Structure 1
Amino acid sequence: MSKSYAVPSSELPGYTAIYRHPDYKDGTHNNEYSDITTLYEVFQNLVKTRPHSDFLGARPYFPESSKFGPYRWITTTQAQEIVDNFGSGLDGLFEKYAPEPNESTGMQPLGIFSVNRPEWLLTELAAFRTGRYSVGVIDASGVGRAEFDMNHSEMHVVVCSMDKITRMLDRIKYTPRIRAIVSMDRLDCSKPHASTQPFSPQTIEKLKQKAREAGVYLTDMDQVIQDGRTNPTEARPSKPEDLCTLCYSSGTAGAQKGVLATHKSFVYAARSAALAMRFGPQTYFSYIPLYHVFDRYAVYAIMHTGIKIGFYHGDMQALLEDMQQLQPTVLTIIPHVLNRVYDRIAQASVAADSLSGSLSRKAYAAKLRRIRNNGALTHSFWDKLIFSKISALFGGRVQTMICGSAYLDPRVQDFFRAALSCNVIQGYGQTETMAGGTIQQRSDTSSNNVGVPNPGVDLRLRSIPEMSYHVTDTPGPRGELLVRAPNVFSGYLRDAEKTRESMDGEWLATGDIATVNPDGSFSIIDRVKNVIKTAQAMWIEPEPLESTYAQHPMIKNIFIYGSERERELVAVAVPDPASFIPWARKLVGGGGGGSENIDELCADLKVRAAMVEELKLLAARNNVPRPGHIAAVHLEPSPFESVSSEFYTITLKVRRHVVRAHYKGAFAALYKTLSCNDDPTVLTLTSASSAETL
């Protein structure tokens, strides 16, 4: 039975049929949750249905011991009071320092610059209460990224954690529109937080002086809340057609783009996820940056039925410690983080060369068979003996783990299903769809796919002949994934051309190549544009990198490859014989001796390793970020044009999909070598085939 519903007679030349969720064949939400039309109403409904319930939690910081305590909570009712007072205070602040709306949007943006914490979400809700929209400022891509977000969004007011204030004031000349900075932390340092550690009343006075000199009003959240309590204003909640957030994309094809999202679109995405998952009240762990849509998508979806949100304490290396304190029932996770945790756990269990390792492998094989045969996630004997210890690392209560943003290795997905006795679900979405696109059903125990269309979301594929992807391919159609639904974005801020390019009529062209599997599930298999997405969810443009590496005097041609399944980049490089042969001969033969046969020199492992080091040195000299470094190289003795006439178009542009296909085996060999160097046992010992025989 097909997992997706194909709408009869909906095929068009070059396009597949329209695919929908099997339980929502008419393409709508069947009027469920139709009374909730804005994200502010999602919050209001939570307050109404679960008053005085724990809502937002964080671990307090104790400077005397430099440690974090157990979670402390504010209730839904307390959050409503804070949002009302903070929203009122923001009204007064905007009236004084930023009275005019943004020329591009007709509304006022409110910047939020911080790691995930309760104040982040409270600030966004206060913005919605006063008819404004949020702009999450990204501080993860080097100097200049945060300033780009502030300038491009034309924001005047920023709410930030204390640790961001110094950076903002030091670089205030690069953000001339900023008029007011609101610290999430008390400026009198009376309430310690991880972000306040480097500060004292004396250093804060210096910051205040620097702000005055720059003409920037510096205050804190508690003061704005007090101002709002003293001078309350009437709530002016956003309407469904109003912007709720401006969210910056990853910049996959050049400069970052500001994705405009309305309340209508974001609520539709959240509602769709709520209907797909059918959650009851849950405890959720928030650590994926809130300036992206993925975490907020999950938060607002689960908020439909009840949610406690515990935030990490700011250290990505200590996520397990936070989870053990919080004991969450739902996790969203990205493959890069899950792979890192997997490596650590597997080495101590299924990959261990000991009696416990042998028992772990036997337990894993038994549970994997049970999951595949009847979908049962628990095993009374092996869970108690082996897997309860692993489950305890995550708090011991995880019921659902939702994974997105990059490819998830099926072996890792199966391992955590068995180890945590929980649903491990893959989904697919983009910033332009508010993260909503596809999701695996909770009863689905398959791997290597991203599930079926979300309720109320239409999907179809279109042929990409230049990449040899056709909707007539067998065993399943292949082509670019198109999305049509109310959760599709409103456009890119001040970029009508890019907005038009992203659409095929009323359909969003995602740029991702997908296939529809025989069972009706979808799998993402490639990208249309010349960009690479790694397993670390990093977007990389290979062509500028290739231009940089081609500057090396020993490199004649180079082709860079990566995929969602791998963490590192690899390459095929054609050396320049004139400079390469003398250099390589010294490595293999010493002095002037050794072979002059370029084929033998290119195949020599010592030469290849040395070439990787040469390329890393070149990358360092040219300030290439770490994700753009090449980890392994295949040396091709013949020029690309003589290897295959199909490598280039008539205008001498590289046909990347042809080169990829030709060197498929070489790339696989390079990654196998890297895998052996990094971890020779883990994935081998826990592969599905070997687990069945243990």
Structure 2
Amino acid sequence: MQIKEDMNPVLLYLLHFLMWLYGVITFVPWFLLSGAQDRQVRASRVKAKPTSDKPESPYRSVDSFHSLASSLYKGCDTLDKVFKHGTELFKHRDCLGTREVLSEEDEVQPNGKVFKKVILGRYNWMSYEEAYLFASQFGNGLAALGQKPKSNIAIFCETRAEWIIAAQACFMYNFPLVTLYATLGGPAIAHGLVETEVTHIVTSKELLQTKLKAILPQVPLLRHIILLDGMGTQQTDFPKNITVHSMGAVQAFGAKQLNTQRSYPAAHDIAVIMYTSGSTGIPKGVMISHSNLISGITGMAQRIPNLGDTDTYIGYLPLAHVLELSAELVCLSRGCRVGYSSPQTLSDQSTKIKKGSKGDASELQPTLMAAVPEIMDRIYKNVMSKVATMSPVQKGLFSLAYNYKMKQISRGYSTPLCDRVVFWKVRKLLGGKLRVLLSGGAPLSAATQRFMNICFCCPVGQGYGLTETCGAGTITEVWDFSTGRVGAPLVCCEIKLKNWEEGGYYNTDRPCPRGEILIGGPNVTMGYYKNEGKTREDFFVDENRQRWFCTGDIGEFHSDGCLKIIDRKKDLVKLQAGEYVSLGKVEAALKNLPIVDNICAYANSDQSYVIGFVVANQKELLKLAEKKGVQGCWESLCNNAIMEREVQKVLAESPAAATLEKFEVPAKIRLVSEPWTPETGLVTDAFKLKRKELKSHYQEDIERMYGGK
């Protein structure tokens, strides 16, 4: 992405000359003293290679070529041992930080809506020793309340320090932890709680009132609700067999019950049952053992250089998602500080932060951060909108510096002068001290990745992993400034490509082998809870007794051993904000509408909405055109932007759309004048959609409907 330089040509040439002169004068001493040569060597080195010459051979990191890594510390084969080891090493260091709320007020917007705004103070910190003691006492309190070892307990809560304390308590006492997204709907929550037969649930006061309370009658085995942020009270409108407790009361109770028998977990015991969205809309519970998670975080920790007790991580993504949980477990194993935030309070410009006061990143000044593409895209748009309002001279300087730095980092060079003079204000948006920014959860567009690289003056890497692999698969190395790739396999796993004939992808393809991505290693999880059929479909064990997961994603390996995701075998797509969309479900819901003869839903993972291609029913479309006063032949009606908007409106307002989530309904459509037949090559002989061919055929329309950066 090149930014236009809007400046007086003479001044522009002068600045170009001065920057060239500066580069010539400083290049040699800078190159020798800054370690640039070493970075170039590391960036260009082979990072992974196949274990043999056979096309189906798995790729392994060159750092674990002869043996996959599976443990962070010797003898620490369960998560409670890892946390205890970290506590012994970093006993008095800051561990978990929560920001105090100084005041809250309602702010009326120009459109009449009321937004809640907060003014926040400093972070209050709990040491490693205090966090370990709190978790131990809370786990003891849960046991005293009747929670049994190897019996499931649920946590349904937003990301906060108490979440991770509750999780560590469950790891210590061998209570398998059932995690549920705070954004799930009532039926999905009830499904998870009933399927796992939980008797105890940890939640927040808000979620209890807004979501959990309504489904309590559907969860007959539930007996105890523990509130992380409220007082335990006798609820007259709750079922009589349910008791509500506060976390503090359970912890205090556990502190007194010193003789409670503790059951220690084994490495292959279930640590977490993490619910993840399925294509049918019913969430699946992934069974993750202690050894699975430890293997995953071992691989992640190895890919972050110099990770230690001088680092501060900002936690704001959902802890019920494997990306955030793994990231925090990595940090706690190495003595980092973890300060908590939320998407609404992350920066000075966030929606809940009162104008003029500090967002969490400004106060915390993190060195490490994980992000989803939606957050990065939002920052990108905010910065570029501010650049657009600059004076011509300011805009020209920014553009000149941006384009200059883009060329330099593509060669592996840094630009300390540009960073200090031009980009420091942008960098301050996230505290000013970031040294590693990792993107995960969905593909990150090349333009946004390059922008974050340049403006935040730190490596921006992509990771690839799934709940079924503990979030571990690949992560780009910090000195790799290429875009669009997800890096080499982590030291805990290996990856091979399986031929997918239907899509035309083969591991014998040249120059880059291609195929369905299969991940194998000790981080591959135990399967789906109470779903043996789906487990057999997606997991298998090879002749060496290694466990593998079939991802359904299509990838290609580059010559340096780095992986690029190029397609999806499944029709399940994750949008930019992390919502899963089943394209087949969308099509099935809308296909029977009178105005639709055929429909193909499409979604890009780096976008926030679904689009669609509609073969319209001629009679119904002509009737709609007459009603709206639009005239023309059939071809012109299908190419008419007004008719596209009107048909999209019909889809969105139909009863069929009510069966879909709002984000699943196509936000833009393209009307198709010719029906799809096997002769067109866009459907099979059985009239099933050929998604790859449809995407290629309508590529220009896809770009039009999504726009470009």
TM-score, length-scaled by structure 2: 0.85
Amino acid at match of 2:86: L
Q: Is the 8 A contact 1:18 1:459 kept in 2?
A: yes
2:140 paired residue number: 88
Shift of 1:648: 3.0
1:138 CA displacement: 2.0
Distance 1:652 1:373, change over 3 A: closer
Q: Please report how far the alpha carbon of residue 10 of structure 1 lies from its aligned counterpart in structure 2 after TM superposition.
A: 5.1
C-alpha separation in 1, matches of 2:236 and 2:297? 44
Question: Tell me, which stretches of 5 or more residues in structure 2 are unaligned?
Answer: 1-43, 106-117, 346-350, 543-547
- 1:585-596 matches, cutoff 5 A: 585=626, 587=628, 589=630, 594-595=631-632
The corresponding residue for 2:327 is: 298
Match of 1:133 in 2: 176
What amino acid maps onto 1:395 in structure 2? G
- Equivalent in the alignment of 2:338: 309
Within 2, Cα distance between the matches of 1:305 and 1:322? 23
Amino acid at match of 1:22: V
* Alpha carbons 2:98, 2:339 under 8 Å: kept: yes
Distance 1:177 1:583, change over 3 A: same
Alignment deviations for residues 566-625 of structure 1 (CA, whole Å, 9 cap, x no partner): 222211111111221242245454xxxx33x21111112222222222222227852432
Whether the 8 Å contact between 2:587 and 2:600 is mirrored in structure 1 is yes
Q: Of residues 218, 240, 247 in structure 2, which corresponds to 1:214?
A: 240
- The DSSP-based 3-state class of the residue aligned with 2:696 is helix
CA gap of 1:428–1:318, structure 2 versus 1, over 3 A, is: farther
1:128 Cα offset (Å): 1.4
- Segment drifting more, 328-337 vs 79-88: 79-88
RMSD over equivalenced CA pairs, Å? 2.2
Whether 1:26 aligns to 2:66 is yes
Q: Structure 1, residues 427-469: CA drift from partner, whole Å, max 9, x if none?
A: 1000000000001011111110000000131101011001111
CA contact (8 A) 2:172 2:264 kept: yes
1:261 alignment partner AA: I
Aligned mates of 2:104, 2:700 — CA distance in 1: 57
Q: How does 1:183-332 map to 2 (within 5 A)?
A: 183-187=227-231, 208-211=235-238, 213-232=239-258, 233=260, 235-278=262-305, 279-281=307-309, 282-312=311-341, 315=344, 317-318=351-352, 321-332=359-370
Alpha-carbon contact 1:33-1:271 (below 8 Å) kept = no
Provide the secondary structure at the position in 2 that maps to 1:563: coil
3-state DSSP of counterpart to 1:261: strand
Distance 1:285 1:439 in 2: 19
Residue aligning to 1:678: none
Q: In the alignment, residue 134 of structure 1 is paired with which amino acid?
A: L
Equivalent residues in 2 for 1:363-378 (5 A)? 363-376=401-414, 378=415
**Partner secondary structure for residue 507 of structure 2:** coil
Give the direction of change, closer, same or farther, for the CA distance of 1:350–1:398 in structure 2 (3 Å limit).
farther
Moved more, 524-533 or 475-484: 524-533
How far, CA to CA, are the matches of 1:8 and 1:227 in structure 2? 54
Post-superposition offset of 1:36: 2.2
Aligned to 1:563: 604
Q: In structure 2, which of residues 395, 398, 416 is the aligned counterpart of residue 360 of structure 1?
A: 398
- The alignment-based identity, stated in percent, is 25
Q: 1:234 to 1:67 in 2, by over 3 A?
A: farther
Alpha-carbon distance in 1 for matches of 2:214, 2:77: 41
Q: Which residue of 1 aligns with 2:556?
A: 515
Which deviates the most, 271-280 or 31-40?
31-40
The C-alpha deviation readout for 1:156-190, integer Å capped at 9, x for no partner, is 101111222334334310111110011112417xx
Query: Do residues 171 (structure 1) and 215 (structure 2) align?
Result: yes
Matches within 5 A, 1:415-454: 415-454=451-490
Which is further off, 611-620 or 468-477?
A: 611-620
Which of residues 302, 312, 336 is equivalent to 2:374? Answer: 336
Cα shift readout 1:389-419 (whole Å, capped 9, x = no counterpart) = 1111111111100101111111111111111
Q: Report the equivalent of 1:195.
A: none
Looking at structure 2, the residues matched to 31 and 157 of structure 1 have their Cα atoms a distance apart, in angstroms, of 31
Matched residue type, 1:515: E
Letter in structure 1 aligned against 2:124: R
Q: Match for residue 610 of structure 1?
A: 646
> Structure 2 CA distance, aligned partners of 1:474 and 1:353?
49
Per-residue deviation at 1:63?
Answer: 5.2
Aligned residue identity for 1:163: E
TM-score, normalisation: structure 1: 0.87
For the residues of structure 1 that align with 2:138 and 2:212, how far apart are their CA atoms? 22
Q: For residue 550 of structure 1, what is the aligned residue in structure 2?
A: 591
Deviations 1:464-505 (A, max 9, x none): 001111112233111100011000000111111100100244
Q: How many residues align?
A: 636
The answer on whether the counterparts of 2:158 and 2:182 sit within 8 Å (CA) in structure 1 is: no
For the 8 Å contact 1:4–1:19, the answer to whether it is kept is no
Residue 226 of structure 2 aligns to a residue in which SS? strand
Matched-pair contact (CA < 8 Å) for 1:619–1:629? no
Give me the whole-angstrom Cα distance separating, in 2, the residues matched to 1:353 and 1:148. 56
Give the counterpart letter for 2:635 in structure 1. D
8 Å CA contact retained: 2:202, 2:228: yes
